[in-house]
Structure 1
Amino acid sequence: MLENKSQFQKRLSFLMELRTQGPAATAFTILALQLLLPLTIFITIISIFKNISCNKKKNKKPDFKGTILLTGGKMTKALQLARLLKRSGYKIILAEDKKYRASGHAWSNCVDSFYLLPSLSEGYFVYEKTLLRIIEEEQIDLMIPVASPVSVYVDAKFKKNIGSRLKIFHFTEDELLCLDHKYNLCAKARELGLASPDVHLIKSRRELELFDFDDTKKRYVLKSLVYAPIERLKRPLLPFDEQNEYFSSLTISPDRPWVLQEFVSGREFCTHSTVHEGKILLHCCCESSEFQLRYKHVDNKDIYNWVETFVKAMNLTGQISFDFIVNERGEVMPIECNPRTHSAITAFYNSECVADSYIKPEITQLSLLEPCFPNKEAKETYWLYHELWELFKCRSFGQIKNQLKLIFFGKEAILDSLDPLPFIMVYHWQIPSLLIQALKSKASWIRIDFNIGKLVEVDGD
């Protein structure tokens, strides 16, 4: 369904009114999650018994193939990779920032060891020293960063410093300068003959004030090039009458540049691709929106061809995800690139080809170089308590029906009958622990990102 400008403005007016949650809301959320624990346990038990009744034979334990270090241990996408890699014969070491020491994924039977990493605020060399110790102690063969928007750069620096001593499935620092930069991304796409929205690099408030919106006849969205979890929720459609007041509230400088990006109306999609030396080895594409947190693969050849052309031209190796909008003319327009793992990888929950996509192609069979896609029978993945909250907000029978259909016939992203504890521990240990931290420190937060396993905080990661 296409989103017109009035719909977009209505959505933005809601976003601009986002309020931080106070102590009362925090305490209520903690209590609510604990009261829902019996429901989670009941669902877990049903899932286990259903699996026992449907699967009479035991799967043979795969031969040991090596040891893999995964970072980003608080996130569901890290858990998903851990499960898929473990069941393919790898020993899994999971690591995460010490802020998330209560990670529910540490309880997974697909995680052999869980390590805490120093906060990035402690400096790069402390981070590097800790990683090197883990790599030596656990005899790591491969590191796959499941990076945050901030740590993606730190992991690239670590890859450069460690050199050939360890295989790290991640982009280089130079590649990130293009991929994780909305202006450079669109400029590179145009250079390759690919469609992209009109973009302008903004390094001062004066440049914004002098920009002739009337001359272009286009609408724009202003985006920070420095990651800001709250800013990305507040992006008014330009131009509008009070825009100078909006501009004055922004911190804009050569050290903190912004990009003025053409607003594109159309259908939104997100993708995740695992690529090696410019070849796509794994790919999924899902319909997306600002409010949607659910993933089911859709076959879109135009988007696949866009990604294939881009990664081949840049000869990329790593995990890359894009946000696209297909406009009214059918053009695939990149909105942004996230050079890291996407939560859409949960669409591969029942796939057996994921592990081979992350192993260096020259040590695999040629047949494994064919792209891996989610299974056709894979259900739409979702996060239970996010969708229950959405159900609570439904205002029509149709909305309620759709939510219940998803909950009963989709696939809960964390729930796994062969690995049941994370489903309980994330919702009733990890998230409550973060809420208690926020209560003690009086930290402000906007919402809970269950898929990332964090609170969206004003100065968060």
Structure 2
Amino acid sequence: MRVLLTGARGLPALVAARQLHRAGHAVLVCDTFPTHATRHSREIERSFQVPAPRFEEEAFIQRLLSIIEEHRVDVLMPTGEEILYVARHSERLKALCEVVAATFEQLTALHDKGAFNQRVAALGLPAPKTWRLEGQEHLETLLLEHSRLIVKPAFSRFGQKTRLVQAGTPLPPLGFTRTLLAQEFIEGTELCSSSVVWEGALTAHVCYRPRYRFPSGPGYYYEPLGHPGVREWVLRFLEGTRFTGSLGFDFIETDRGELFALECNPRMTSGFILFPEDGRLGRAMLGQAIAEPDLETPAMVGFPMLTAALLRIRSWQGLREWRRAFGAARDAFWRREDPKPFWYQLAAFPHLFQLSRRHGLAMGEATTHYTEWNG
């Protein structure tokens, strides 16, 4: 089959492209950025630049339709947040090919952190108390009863604009141009999961700990865990949904073993790098196989491990732990048989930097400026 992946500049897209290629499929990719690491992979057939769906939604869909028709695409598989725009126009796209995505209603309900929290609570699963903030005074009132709260937008990604606020300390100015949530702070260990789901059934699943991460942001070191509790939680959440696509969940596990789900990412997430690169995950993405992760070998993005992680080490013990972790992991980009994505992993940086400067965005915000969905 011929598969078109959107969101090609993200690491999950590179993983998906390699897995689908090794499953015997021809892979095409597209992205709003002119260049990126996946574009240089020998395991893709073609790469295309597409309009920004956030600002040119109809032009984005028209470009997808033309690529699908011209290049005889059999399957369209979104990898990033642009999946919400694809899902909103899925009927038009399905007239030409299969679309691997849940319904627009399912995706928005999962992407909205407030709606997701309500669904978790309704299922009887542990859920942190969460409030939709009505203003600064509302937050101040909540802090009279809760000493620490997490404040974040209802629609966000990668920890952007997430902050910890504490009673008795000056509150940062909060912009209310977006819906903001306050969530009780849960003490414990952070866990993440990445899953592939086909009509409500798990075809691939892995739990991992983001051992090294950017402050209040995404991780870049993925330590796999055999965690039956997380798997059972995901199965219970999916029961009766008929969901198809990829899902990532963020959890806090307390000392008592309770799993509190903080949020859901209804798209591909970086945990997919923890699967053996034998093509089985590619088949699982199409509902054709069950894929099991490699629970013995951590994975990392080596560049931030050599820069961000190393620069934050403040003790000899921390340095020894970092050295052991670095030596134990395989790099997410490097493959002897497909080396160019490793050497071009910063290829998107010049465009990202220009975008950041032009719109006054933090670098993390610039990465999703063209594709994010904010309700």
AA partner of residue 241 (structure 2): M
Please point out which of 119, 127, 148 is paired with 1:219. Answer: 148
Give the match for residue 91 of structure 1: 26
Tell me how far 1:220 sits from its aligned partner: 1.7
The sequence identity of aligned pairs, in percent, is 23
Higher mean Cα deviation, 329-338 or 165-174? 165-174
TM-score scaled by structure 2? 0.89
Shift of 1:380: 1.2
- Aligned 8 A contact 2:18 2:277 in 1: no
Q: Tell me how far apart the structure 2 counterparts of residues 178 and 329 of structure 1 sit (CA, whole Å).
A: 29
Partner residue of 1:267?
189
Partner of 1:28: none
Report the structure number with the largest CA radius of gyration.
1
Partner Cα distance (1:122, 1:418) in 2: 38
The match for 2:71 among 138, 141, 145 is 138
Aligned counterparts of 2:322 and 2:169: Cα–Cα separation in 1 = 38
Residues 223 and 259, structure 1, Cα contact 8 Å, conserved in 2? yes
Distance 1:108 1:122 in 2: 28
1:160-309 equivalence runs, <5 A: 160-163=91-94, 165-209=96-140, 211-215=141-145, 217=146, 219-227=148-156, 232-243=160-171, 246=172, 249-252=173-176, 256-288=178-210, 290-291=213-214, 292-309=219-236
Structure 1 351/87 Cα, relative in aligned 2: closer, same or farther at 3 Å?
closer
2:274 and 2:368 map into 1 onto residues whose CA distance is 27
**Residue deviations 1:374-426 (CA, integer Å, cap 9, x gap):** 1244x211112111112244222222222222333310100001101111112
Give the drift of 1:121: 4.7
Structure 1 residue identity aligned to 2:306: L
1:259–1:358 CA distance, 2 compared to 1 (3 A): same
Query: Is contact 2:151-2:181 (8 Å) kept?
Result: yes
Q: In structure 2, what is the Cα distance between the partners aligned to 1:165 and 1:307? A: 32
Alignment partner, residue 339 of structure 1: 266
- Asked whether the equivalents of residues 3 and 74 of structure 2 are also in contact (C-alpha less than 8 Å), the reply is yes
Distance 1:346 1:385 in 2: 16
Contact kept, 8 Å, 1:443 with 1:457, in 2: the verdict is no
Label 1:190 to 1:438 Cα distance change in 2 as closer, same or farther (>3 A).
closer
Q: 1:416 aligns with which of 329, 335, 341?
A: 335
Of 299, 315, 328, the residue aligned with 2:242 is: 315
In structure 2, list runs of 5 or more residues that go unmatched: none
CA separation in 1, counterparts of 2:142 and 2:165? 15
Pick from 297, 302, 305 the counterpart of residue 387 of structure 1: 305
AA of the residue aligned to 2:227: N
Contact preservation (8 Å) 1:69, 1:93? yes
Q: Secondary structure at the match of 2:150?
A: strand
Aligned counterpart, 1:23: none
1:95-127 deviation line (CA, Å, top 9, x unaligned): 000xx2121221111010001111235421101
Partner-residue secondary structure (3-state), 1:120? coil
* 2:325 corresponds to: 406
RMSD: 2.6
Aligned to 1:325: 252
State whether residues 382 and 410 of structure 1, in contact with CA within 8 Å, keep that contact through their aligned partners in structure 2.
Answer: yes
Give the TM-score of the pair, scaled to structure 1.
0.73
Give the corresponding residue for 1:353. Answer: 280
Q: 1:455 Cα deviation (Å)?
A: 5.7
Shift of 1:373: 2.1
Give distance in 1, aligned partners of 2:340 and 2:113: 39
Return closer, same or farther for 1:460/1:190 CA change in 2, 3 Å cut-off: closer
